[in-house]
Amino acid sequence: MIRLPFVLFFSALLFSAGVYGVLARRNAVMVLMAIELMLNAVNVNLVAFGSDRHDVGGQMFALFVIAVAAAEVGIGLAIVILLYRNRESINVDEVNLLKW
């Protein structure tokens, strides 16, 4: 049995990597993948806390999040494809129409 703090430490690293990816990557696909990393870090946490407390709810939420993330990635990739079609680029720095 792996002790809980290790798992939490892992998930924190994973989340931080995701945050880094979201904030620092210029490629929209990479940003989407970084978001997935953050979601999965949360999933790890949910499962870890669930098993620690002997509560099956953690696993259920993790499954729910995976489902939502799948939907989200679907929409996200669709946006990226549209973006590419219009701009021939998926660099998020160039997508700044919604400003002052």
Which residues in this chain contact another protein in the complex, by CB under 8 A? 19, 22-24, 31, 92-93, 95-100
Determine the 3-state secondary structure of 90 from DSSP. Answer: coil
Contact (Cβ atoms closer than 8 angstroms) between residue 81 and residue 90 = no
Compare residues 7 and 95 and give the one whose CB is closer to another protein.
95
Compare residues 7 and 79 and give the one whose CB is closer to another protein.
79
Read off φ and ψ for residue 2, nearest 5 degrees: -80, 135
Q: Is the dihedral of CA 73, 79, 81, 87 positive or negative?
A: negative
Compare residues 8 and 95 and give the one whose CB is closer to another protein.
95
- Distant-in-sequence, close-in-space partners of 16: CB < 8 Å, separation ≥ 6: none
State in angstroms the smallest separation of the CB of 26 from another protein: 9
Compare residues 12 and 67 and give the one whose CB is closer to another protein.
12
State in angstroms the smallest separation of the CB of 45 from another protein: 16
State in angstroms the smallest separation of the CB of 90 from another protein: 13
